[in-house]
Amino acid sequence: MGTPDFAIPSLDSLYKSQHNLCCVVTAADKKQGRGLKVVSSPVKNYCLKNTIKVIQPENFHSQEFLNEIIGYKPDIIVVVAFKILPKKLWEIPKLGTINIHASILPNLRGAAPINWAIINGLKKTGLTSFFINEGVDTGDIIKIKEIKINEDDNFGSLYDRLRSLSGNFILDTIDEIQKVNGKPQVNTKDLLTAPKLNKENTKINWLEDGKKIVKKIKGLSPIPGAWSRIKDSNKIIKIYDSLFHELNHDFEIGKMYIESSNKLMVAVKKGAIEVLSLKIEGKKRISGLDYINGLKNKTIKLI
């Protein structure tokens, strides 16, 4: 059970393994774009290409859908980047329903663990496989694979590395299930969460520490993009790449200005953020230098 391209390597590994892949469940097709063209999920497209049975239920509680899954007599249901399932569905398999989560559980439970690992400045993250239970990402752990978060990692690069590991990881997890039981998660007071990204928690607060702002920009790049608003035009500006410089300045916090060495900067406490890559609402993504070349005003206020 999965929808985005993050689920493809694990699906591909299962399909090419000795295991019997009975069917795949994915999200319903959606209408997108100005022409409202019907678009299938990456997982469905993979299934069509490889002639794999695919199911797209409208209602995961419907008895018709549940009966169809029961009819396959599955030993295991594998869930990767999918929705929360009802208990009467995840209880069906003989050996349980397992999930692959992109963090080292119990840390970063939630919808956006890769983004929040970088935003929180973690030095490592990974993949965790666990048995689904009635909580959100709280089930018994089967296996963990850790990787280092590099200084230059952003969401996109870390996503790609974790995605590439998931194919072998799912096969190792299934081998592990046949040897040992899961290990209960140990909760501590300082656990980080990974809530769903929204307009509020992706907005840049220029009053924050400069190093934290850079981490936020990296954790949201290239999608959905950390954003601010240009005060004069009220247009949204998204920033994709940046550096923090400790320096003295006389600018108001949030003021965007051109530094003497032709760098695009935003004033923050105890320094400035150098903007390396950005996108103004309605325009294409450009470098900070290209933006400088098109500037009419020397200073712009971001809010």
Asked whether residue 295 carries a pLDDT value surpassing 80, the answer given is: no
Looking at residue 296, its pLDDT comes to: 67
Looking at residue 36, its pLDDT comes to: 80
Contact between 194 and 103 (Cβ < 8 Å): yes
Looking at residue 51, its pLDDT comes to: 96
Looking at residue 297, its pLDDT comes to: 65
Looking at residue 122, its pLDDT comes to: 97
Q: Do 162 and 254 sit in the same domain of this protein? A: no
| pLDDT level of residue 225 (50, 70, 90 thresholds) | very high
pLDDT (average), residues 166-179: 94
pLDDT (average), residues 1-22: 97
- % the chain with pLDDT above 70: 99
Looking at residue 126, its pLDDT comes to: 98
For the ranges 11-20, 25-34, 157-166, the lowest mean pLDDT is seen at: 25-34
Q: Do 18 and 150 sit in the same domain of this protein? A: yes
Burial of 220 (0-12, 13-18, 19+ CB in 10 A): buried
Q: Do 156 and 13 sit in the same domain of this protein? A: yes
Query: Residue 226: which CATH number?
Result: 3.10.25.10
Residue 60, number of CB atoms within 10 A of its CB: 16
> Across-strand partners of 167?
none
Q: Do 170 and 216 sit in the same domain of this protein? A: no
For residues 130 and 128, give the distance between their C-alpha atoms in angstroms, rounded to a whole number: 6
CA 19 to chain centre: 28
For the ranges 32-36, 78-82, 217-221, the lowest mean pLDDT is seen at: 32-36
pLDDT (average), residues 168-177: 96
Residue 191 lies in a domain: no
| Exposure string over 178-212, b if 16+ CB within 10 A, otherwise e | eeeebeebeeeeeebebeebeeeebebebeeebeb
Q: Do 170 and 215 sit in the same domain of this protein? A: no
Tokens, residue 128: 């965790």
Tell me the torsion sign for CA atoms 116, 118, 121, 122: positive
Within the chain, what is the greatest distance between any pair of CA atoms? 70
Torsion of CA 167, 13, 177, 179, to 10 degrees: -100
For residues 3 and 152, give the distance between their C-alpha atoms in angstroms, rounded to a whole number: 28
| pLDDT level of residue 31 (50, 70, 90 thresholds) | confident
Q: Do 55 and 161 sit in the same domain of this protein? A: yes
Q: How far is CA 26 from CA 43, 86, 194, in A?
A: 7, 15, 23
Residues spanned by the domain of 270: 210-301
- Number of structural domains found in the chain: 2
pLDDT (average), residues 19-39: 89
pLDDT tens-digit series, residues 245-287: 999 999 999 999 988 788 999 999 999 999 999 999 999 999 9
Q: Do 61 and 154 sit in the same domain of this protein? A: yes
| pLDDT level of residue 227 (50, 70, 90 thresholds) | very high
Q: Do 111 and 237 sit in the same domain of this protein? A: no
Q: Do 230 and 286 sit in the same domain of this protein? A: yes
The angle that helices 8-16 and 155-177 make with each other, rounded to 10 degrees, is: 30
Domain boundary among 177, 200, 219: 177
Looking at residue 188, its pLDDT comes to: 87
Looking at residue 168, its pLDDT comes to: 97
Average pLDDT, the chain: 94
Backbone angles phi, psi at 157, to 5 degrees: -70, -40
For residues 281 and 13, give the distance between their C-alpha atoms in angstroms, rounded to a whole number: 40
Q: Whole-model pTM?
A: 0.94
Looking at residue 11, its pLDDT comes to: 98
pLDDT tens-digit series, residues 116-147: 999 999 999 999 999 999 999 999 999 999 99
Q: Do 126 and 40 sit in the same domain of this protein? A: yes
Strand positions, DSSP E, 33-103: 37-39, 54-55, 76-80, 96-101
Asked whether residue 298 carries a pLDDT value surpassing 80, the answer given is: no
For residues 16 and 178, give the distance between their C-alpha atoms in angstroms, rounded to a whole number: 19
pLDDT (average), residues 203-230: 97
Contact between 285 and 279 (Cβ < 8 Å): yes
CA 261 to chain centre: 36
